[in-house]
Structure 1
Amino acid sequence: MTAYLRSLDLIRARGFDTLWPTHGRPIRDVAVFIDAYKAHRQERIDQILDPLKAGPGSLGELVPRLDADVDPACGPRPCARCWRR
C-alpha cells in the first residue's frame, strides 16, 4: 500500500490536467481527486489498524472489531466478507 500511495504522489506531482483511467470517466481535477482518494484510503487503513491495536485474534474475533455492524448471529459469512477485503 505504501508503494501505491507513493505512486499517487508521483502522478500528482506531474501536474496532469486529466487522467484517463482504464475504466470510468476522465478525471479532470487530478490533484483534488488524488488528495480525496488518498484521504479515503487512509481512513480505511485506520479502520483496519486501529482495532488490531487491541491485540491478535482469530478471524471470528477480529471481524467484530473491524466491522462493528456485523451481527454475530450472521455466522461465518461476515468473516468471509471481511477476509476478502
Structure 2
Amino acid sequence: MPLVIDARVDVELSADGDPCVFVWNRFEHTIIGQPQAVFTRTSWWENAGTSTRIDTELWRVDASRGGEEQHRYDLRRDADGWVLALDWG
C-alpha cells in the first residue's frame, strides 16, 4: 500500500525534459532508470472553479537517496510546481 506524501519538492529535469533528481526534506534523490510519464484527465465538473487544467501530469520513478535502497515514487506536476504524491516503498 503506498504512503501518501503530498509534499512540495524541487525537481531537476534532464535535457529530454524528464525528471532526473528531486529534493525532498533537504535530501537529493537520484532517479534511476527511465521515468514513466502518465497523464490523467480530471472531469471538468469535479474541479469547477478551482483550476483551468484538466490534465494531470504524473511521473512514476525509481529513486535512491545516496547509497540507500531505491524506492518507487509518484511525482505530480501541478500548475505551481512539483509534488511528491506517493511513496510506493
Of Structure 1 and Structure 2, which has the larger fraction of its residues in strand? 2
Of Structure 1 and Structure 2, which has the larger fraction of its residues in helix? 1
TM (norm. structure 2) is: 0.20
User: Which structure is larger by alpha-carbon Rg, 1 or 2?
Assistant: 1
TM (norm. structure 1) is: 0.21
